[in-house]
């Protein structure tokens, strides 16, 4: 205060004026920055909404022309302008199902190995190696599938399946067919390899959140490692494990390149898993740049819209399941 009094009145006024102006400009800059970041945040919402609406718009023609029969018929006739999406929808669901049947137990095993079985020095390197699988671009899986895995399938695996599973009463028709190598089973296996790292890394992370006290109590009662995992760790993390599985399912449904290489792009509905088929994503990738008529292109966009809706729902379920574990964690 004493220094203020020593200053001439005019200097003091100038100083106050300066501070006020400074505060004013800071306030304005703060507001501008707030608008800027809010705008960027809203842009994320806008991007997803825009994607949904633009595809609905693009697929409008197909939906209005074919109605519900778009989902239930198998015609895919570019010349006669008749399109039904049952084959790609069926292929998408079947390949994703095969992938999950293989990937879920394997991922559980990997997560178990990395949290309970492996010696500590081995855990980090193996986990990183498995996560490396997730980083490999999908087109590499596709090329490997086409040039390396398909020949193996057609020369050894498919004859084997034909011989031993083909004659079975109910499952038999699934495994009968010529040894082409290309087909839904091959695509499902390649998808399984692709989603294993996603599911196993989610499972590993949630297994690590289980309180040590809980596990040690079970061990102290004489449980084996397996009993601890199955009766303590898994129930504790159930919702997040389901979330991880759905996350993998979302990936498997939408995966394009790896499947396009090994699925064969055939528009026939067959019971056999060994026959070429199609999936929504593969159909779009194969045919979009060649779609010459308005209705053809619209049908492909409509397929994209279906894929978008399905993956959105699956991923939303995954996210909600994963959030549930976090909430329980927070409540403690």
Partner 1 sequence: MSAIAEKLYRRRRLKNSIALVMASAATLFGLFWLVWILWTTLVNGIGALKPELFYQMTPPPGEDGGLANAFFGSMLMSILAILMGTPVGILAGTFLAEYARRSYLGEAIRFINDILLSAPSIVLGLFVYTLVVRPMGHFSGFAGAITLALIVLPVVVRTTDEMLKLVPSQMREAALSLGVPQWKVTVQVLYRSALPGIVTGILLALARISGETAPLLFTALNNQFWSHDLSGPLASVPVVVFQYAMSPYDTWHELAWAGAFMVTVFVLCISLIARAIIARRKVAND
**Residues 222-281, interacting with partner 1 (CB under 8 A):** 224-227, 229-230, 247, 250-251, 253-257, 260-261, 281
Q: Which is nearer to partner 1, 138 or 154 (CB)?
A: 138
Query: Are 51 and 301 contacting, i.e. CB atoms less than 8 angstroms apart?
Result: no
**C-alpha neighbours within 13 Å on the C-beta side of residue 205:** 13
By CB under 8 A, tell whether 219 contacts partner 1: no
Q: Identify the residue whose tokens are 């010696």.
A: 119
What is the rounded CA–CA span in Å between residue 304 and residue 59?
8
Query: Cβ–Cβ contacts within 10 Å for residue 25, how many?
Result: 10
What is the rounded CA–CA span in Å between residue 254 and residue 219?
42
Q: Among residues 119, 135, 169, 330, which is the contact residue for partner 1, using CB under 8 A?
A: 135
> Which neighbouring-strand residues pair with 77?
82
Residues 20-39 that bind partner 1 (CB under 8 A): 26-27, 29-30, 32-34, 36-39
Q: By C-alpha distance, which of 87, 99, 139, 98 is closest to 303?
A: 87
93 token code pair = 């669901």
| Residue span 54-83 as binding mask against partner 1, x where in contact by CB under 8 A, dash where not | xx-xx-------------------------
Residues 280-309 that bind partner 1 (CB under 8 A): 281, 284-285, 288-289, 300-301, 304, 307-308
Q: Which is nearer to partner 1, 29 or 208 (CB)?
A: 29
Q: Among residues 6, 40, 79, 331, which is the contact residue for partner 1, using CB under 8 A?
A: 40
By CB under 8 A, tell whether 200 contacts partner 1: yes
CB of 44 to partner 1, least distance (A): 5
Q: Among residues 76, 141, 207, 296, which is the contact residue for partner 1, using CB under 8 A?
A: 141
Query: Are 130 and 190 contacting, i.e. CB atoms less than 8 angstroms apart?
Result: no
């Amino acid at each position: 205060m004493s220094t203020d009094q020593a200053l001439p009145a005019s200097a003091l006024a100038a100083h106050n004026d300066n501070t006020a102006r400074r505060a004013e400009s800071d306030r304005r800059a703060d507001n501008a920055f707030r608008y800027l970041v809010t705008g960027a945040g809203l842009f994320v919402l806008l991007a997803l909404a825009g994607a949904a609406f633009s595809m609905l718009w693009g697929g409008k023609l197909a939906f209005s022309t074919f109605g519900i029969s778009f989902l239930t018929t198998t015609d895919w006739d570019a010349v006669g302008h008749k399109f039904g999406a049952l084959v790609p929808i069926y292929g998408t669901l079947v390949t994703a199902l095969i992938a999950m049947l293989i990937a879920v137990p394997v991922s559980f095993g990997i997560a178990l190995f990395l949290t309970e079985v492996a010696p500590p020095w081995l855990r980090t390197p193996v986990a990183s190696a498995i996560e490396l699988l997730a980083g490999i671009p999908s087109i590499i899986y596709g090329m490997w599938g086409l040039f390396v895995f398909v020949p193996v399938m057609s020369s050894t695996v498919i004859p084997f399946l034909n011989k031993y599973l083909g004659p079975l009463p109910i499952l038999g028709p699934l495994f009968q067919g010529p040894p082409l190598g290309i087909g839904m089973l091959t695509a499902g296996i390649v998808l399984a390899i692709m989603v294993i790292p996603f599911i196993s890394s989610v499972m590993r992370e949630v297994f690590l959140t289980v309180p040590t006290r809980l596990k040690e109590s079970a061990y102290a009662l004489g449980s084996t490692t397996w009993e601890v995992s199955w009766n303590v760790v898994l129930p504790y993390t159930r919702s997040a494990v389901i979330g991880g599985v759905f996350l993998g399912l979302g990936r498997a449904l939408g995966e394009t390149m790896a499947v396009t290489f090994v699925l064969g792009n055939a528009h026939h509905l067959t019971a056999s898993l060994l026959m070429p088929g199609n999936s929504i994503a593969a159909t779009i990738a194969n045919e979009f740049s060649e779609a010459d008529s308005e209705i053809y292109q619209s049908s492909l966009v409509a397929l994209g819209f279906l894929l978008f809706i399905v993956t959105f729902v699956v991923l939303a379920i995954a996210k909600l399941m994963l959030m549930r574990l976090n909430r329980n964690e927070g409540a403690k």
